[in-house]
Structure formats: structure tokens, C-alpha cells
């Protein structure tokens, strides 16, 4: 399997963050678990880039990965 890497700057779409059938995610959770975590405040809310486009800031995902790694 191919490992995903986090870019230095920019935004990540949900497909870049979570697991799917072919690629491991940066954070190994499903789409529904990710959105449930957002609703419960465990994960940051996405930034709206357009009417139907949401993404997360790379720096926020890096910080979350570090926090999850410390637990």
C-alpha cells in the first residue's frame, strides 16, 4: 500500500485524510467517524473553499496528528 504524506502548506480534502479501500489515510478513520468527530468537537471543522468544497488546513492536520500520537 502507498503511504500518504502531508504537504508542507495548503489544504487537504477529506479523501487525503481518511482511509479508503486502496490507500491508508493520514488519520485512520472512516468518513462517518471523521464527521462524527467534527460534530463532537474532537476534530476541527473544515474550511469551506466553495459551495460544495471543504478542506482542512495542513497545519491543523499536522497538529492533530501530533496530538493523537502523544495519546
Query: What share of the chain in percent tops pLDDT 90?
Result: 35
Domain regions of the chain by residue span? 11-70
Note the pTM of the prediction, 2 decimals. 0.76
- What's the pLDDT at 43? 86
Q: Indicate whether 5 pLDDT > 90.
A: no
How far is Cα 70 from Cα 23, in angstroms, rounded to an integer? 24
Average pLDDT value for residue range 43-68 = 91
53-57 and 11-12 beta bridge pairing: antiparallel
Amino acid at each position: 500500500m502507498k503511504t500518504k504524506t502531508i504537504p508542507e502548506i495548503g489544504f487537504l480534502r477529506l479523501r487525503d485524510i481518511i482511509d479508503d479501500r486502496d490507500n491508508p489515510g493520514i488519520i485512520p478513520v472512516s468518513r462517518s467517524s471523521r464527521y462524527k468527530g467534527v460534530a463532537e468537537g474532537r476534530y476541527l471543522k473544515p474550511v469551506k473553499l466553495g459551495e460544495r468544497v471543504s478542506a482542512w488546513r495542513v497545519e491543523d492536520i499536522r497538529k492533530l496528528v501530533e496530538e493523537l500520537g502523544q495519546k
